[in-house]
Structure 1
Amino acid sequence: MSFERIKEKLNILADAAKYDVSCSSSGSKRTNTNKGLGDSSGMGICHSYTEDGRCVSLLKILLTNHCIFDCAYCVTRKSNDIKRAAFKIQEVVDLTINFYRRNYIEGLFLSSGIFKNPDFTMERLVAVAKKLRIEENFNGYIHLKSIPGASDELMREAGLWADRLSVNIEVPTISGLKLLAPDKKHEDFTKPMLKVKNEIIQYKEEKKVLKSTPKYAPAGQSTQMIIGATGESDKDIMYSANHYYTNYNMKRVYYSGYVPVAEDSRLPAIGSQVPMLRENRLYQTDWLLRFYGFSINEILNDKHPNLDIDVDPKLSWALRNLNHFPVDINAADKRMLARVPGLGMYSVSKILKARKFRKLNWEHLKKIGVALNRAKYFIICDSHQWEKRDLQAYQIKSLILQNSQGKFRKNYSGQLSLFN
């Protein structure tokens, strides 16, 4: 097949893959001019992060954008009038190896529309990974998108060749899935997830006995939810995410704001984009659940079903629970320190170590990196009294927001002065 046809396929199938955010992307489209160094064309190259913090570049494509399903929220649904394309197995292998040899990428993120049936599609995804590992001796990172409804046998084989597997749950609730994707069943998503979870557990147990046990999905599994396509509250979304973390041992749940792709009475109107800030608040909540010791009902419940857009979820919780404050920096345990606005887990760790040697004061906290413009309303230390005094929650919120806006104006003014 000609180079031009391969390039056309790459354009179509890389563009279709951009809606999957379970693999981060820089979004850059800088092109090489005047014989410069490097080229970021935006065609299928995305960036993800390893467990140790390294940023790796991945070739991110669909095997095909043909699909037998007609999910209302999906740009590749069968009723949508778009250009269709499909890679052959060997074409994906060749692209991956050629890109890798040119140092463009360090791995592959491969998803697909569903053609013929789930097992037929999953077989082809597995075949790509297997060929890369066995025939090309490729040891780079491979992330395979698991196909809903695929058999247990194929899911097991996929995990032997891929580093990470993921099944996109797509819509946060079962009722939303029935509305927008009536051809799909909720168990089509959860069955592969459960298989991967159990295989990972079995691998870890067998590894204790036999060191030569083949690795199985060493980077675990993840999933993605579309936000804003149906009327779920933030509470619905995060309770669903918490369910997948708890019951399927997810490494990550990703939240993707719905991008209007069609006129449909079941969907939000064209032009009603989900605010990026809502996505951001959901990710912040996710972080609090996984790393800060919060339980889901503390942040979102029947009384507070949606996140505060004005402030981050930890500050919002603190303002609703002023009875827990002030926190004594020199006496509080790790759990309570982690709940102070302006204290990240890195700062908490430094505080716990530093206070073994002396009582900490305001200056020490500044050097540690505590965001005192927030924290001062919730803490006391060796040299400073509580800043709250008789302030109400709404007054503290207003002061913090004013301070944040003032810092923005100051920084923006400083940037302008450089060019005046």
Structure 2
Amino acid sequence: MNLPTKLSVLADAAKYDASCASSGSVKRNSVGGKGIGSTSGGMGICHSYAPDGRCISLLKILLTNFCIYECSYCVNRASSSVKRARFSVDEVVNLTLDFYKRNYIEGLFLSSGIIQSSDYTMEQLVNVARTLRKVHDFRGYIHLKTIPDASPELLQEAGLYADRLSINIELPSKQALTLYAPEKNPAAIHRSMGQLRHHIDESKESRQQASKIISSTKRKPSKPSRFIYSPAGQSTQMIVGADASSDSKILTLSNYLYGKYQMRRVYYSAFSPIPDAAQMLPAKAPPLVREHRLYQADWLLRFYGFTVDEISQPNDERAGMLDLDIDPKLSWAIRNRDFFPVNINRAPKETLLRVPGIGAIGAKKVMQSRQFRRLRFGDLAKCGLSVKKVAPFIEAVDYRPDARLLESEHLKTHFVERSSPQMALF
């Protein structure tokens, strides 16, 4: 099989992996004409945009789509009839360098099916990253999808060359993983996540200690090491809709992963039906809006101070499922109307963040503006807020919402009718 054909097969096979982003790394910019590539400038998934408008692209491929595992939900499982291909280490290295030199990419996202053994596969992935860094002085972004059952030594080495490491947790429950992916060990996945966090924390602590020594001795700071352990941290991915797990269960697991392993991101991938699928898998994919609502809820957990129970209401009539018609913050607001209206001139930041239509930037602008004068209703638009969305939930110097609207059973309909097909964050 020639190289273009391999690239076509293995780039297409990588499309099911959502956990591909280039944010949070350290700068590895080339200086004085030395080194290849750059990891600075923007954040996103595959194609991202820098603050100056540049598009930051990652080459996203599998090392191979051959696999010895029989995961029911995976199109590349051992019994699948898909077209197979495999790159050599040198082919991936040369592709990455060639694509970079043609200005197509600024980094690499590399995953793989399991071939021969977990250690053998992981060793191949590490060889790619090591060759790029040490032989070719590649300074672009590298994200490696690690193999949970691989030896701790290989996992440790991977973080010396990769900007981000990720281990897919795959499914929200151990029971589902045992049923759909019997070769995968939930305990091994969590153990590997713990090892990665230990190495990341250890690296961060050593850098902090070095910084204190430099500060106390007033020495000139040295250049940051190019081999800081996984500077962009670790991430994971869950498949949504392959099993019967509720949104509440999914978010509970995500919240645990953020706290226990300091995940930088948990990605959600809506289940996609595959050819010759097992009968126990659903025949249809879940609505994509469900995936979107989970990302919105995930944001509320991480940055807005919400709890899982507040977002998903596990004991309500929807059995822990998010409302697909409206975003989770608005859904919470409608269920907790006694919390409103919120006075925009007195409310603290954490209270403003619970108002539908007020995000982190909007809350900051409101708090900055009210330092100079008491805000009126017309000032909200100047703060960049959607006055139609916030109107039922706030009060200002010259405004108080119609109590009948806030108490109305049709408040949800009031927003659904005005919602656009485009899915904004909040």
- Fold match (TM-score > 0.5): yes
Partner of 2:299: 287
CA-to-partner distance for each residue in 1:288-315, whole Å, 9 max, x for gaps? 1111111112112432401001110000
CA distance in 2 between counterparts of 1:175 and 1:6 reads 40
Q: Is the 8 A contact 1:107 1:141 kept in 2?
A: yes
The C-alpha deviation readout for 1:323-351, integer Å capped at 9, x for no partner, is 11110000001111000001111000000
Residue aligning to 1:220: 233
Q: CA deviation at 1:171?
A: 0.7
Alignment CA distance shift 1:149-1:365 (3 Å): same
Residue 225 (structure 1) shift: 0.3
Give the letter for the 2:12 counterpart.
D
Task: In structure 1, give the amino acid aligned to 2:355.
Answer: V
- How many residue pairs get aligned? The number is 383
Q: Does structure 1 residue 312 correspond to structure 2 residue 327? A: yes
Q: CA deviation at 1:236?
A: 0.9
Tell me, in whole angstroms, the C-alpha distance in 2 between the residues paired with 1:47 and 1:162: 19
**Residues 23, 48 of structure 1: 8 Å contact kept:** no
Q: Give, as a single letter, the amino acid of the residue that structure 2 aligns with 1:227.
A: V
Give the aligned residue type for 1:276.
L
Query: 1:415 maps to what in 2?
Result: none
CA contact (8 A) 1:110 1:143 kept: yes
Counterpart AA for 1:374: K
Matches within 5 A, 1:16-415: 16-23=13-20, 46-48=46-48, 55-210=55-210, 214-261=227-274, 262-269=276-283, 272-304=284-316, 305-389=320-404, 391-392=406-407, 394-404=409-419
Counterpart code for 1:7: P
Cα shift at 1:384: 0.8
Letter paired with 1:194: G
SS in 2 for 1:204: helix
The residue type paired with residue 304 of structure 2 is Y
Distance of 2:137 and 2:192 partners within structure 1: 27
Displacement of 1:51 after TM fit? 11
Query: Residue type matched to 2:329 in 1?
Result: K
Task: Give unpaired runs (5+ residues) of structure 2.
Answer: 23-44, 212-223
- Residue by residue, what CA displacement relative to the aligned partner does 1:209-266 show, whole Å, maximum 9, x if unpaired? 2356640100011000000001111111111111111101000000000000133121
For residues 79 and 335 of structure 1, what CA distance do their matches in structure 2 show? 51
* Aligned residues of 2:242 and 2:281 also touching (Cα < 8 A): yes
Q: Any idea what SS the aligned residue of 2:2 has?
A: helix
d(CA) in 1 for partners of 2:55, 2:337:
39
Q: Secondary structure at the match of 2:179?
A: helix
Structure 1 residues 103 and 52 mapped into 2: Cα distance closer, same or farther (>3 Å)? closer
What SS does the aligned partner of 2:192 have? Answer: helix
What letter is aligned with 2:184?
K
Letter in 1 for 2:270: G
Taking only the aligned residue pairs, the percentage that are identical comes to 50
**TM-score scaled by structure 2?**
0.86
Report the CA distance between 1:172 and its aligned residue: 1.1
The amino acid across from 1:111 in the alignment is S
- Whether the aligned pair in 1 keeps the contact of 2:72 and 2:277 (CA below 8 Å) is no
| Alpha-carbon distance in structure 2 between the residues aligned to 1:357 and 1:273 | 52
Q: Which has the higher contact order (CA 8 A, sep 6+)?
A: 2
Distance in 2 separating the partners of 1:367 and 1:49? 27
CA contact (8 A) 1:373 1:403 kept: no
Structure 1 position 390, deviation (Å): 5.8
Distance 2:233 2:55 in 1: 18
Residue type at the aligned position of 2:370: R
Provide Cα deviations, 1:120-161, integer angstroms capped at 9, x if missing partner.
100110000000001111000000001121111111100000
- Map Cα deviations across residues 346-366 of structure 1 (whole Å, 9 max, x no partner): 000000111011001111101
Give the direction of change, closer, same or farther, for the CA distance of 1:354–1:391 in structure 2 (3 Å limit): closer
Q: Is the alpha carbon distance of 1:400 and 1:390 closer, same or farther for their aligned partners in structure 2, counting shifts above 3 Å?
A: closer
Superposed CA offset, 1:193-224 (max 9, x none): 11110111111111122356640100011000
Separation of aligned partners in 1, 2:120 and 2:55: 33
Contact in 1 for aligned 2:149/2:189 (Cα 8 Å): yes
SS at match of 1:18: helix
CA contact 1:224–1:254 (8 Å) conserved in 2: yes
Aligned equivalents of 1:312, 1:201: Cα separation in 2: 35
Deviations 1:357-412 (A, max 9, x none): 1001111101111111111111000111123336435321111222336x99xxxx
Which position in structure 2 is the counterpart of 1:40? none
Output the aligned Cα RMSD.
2.1
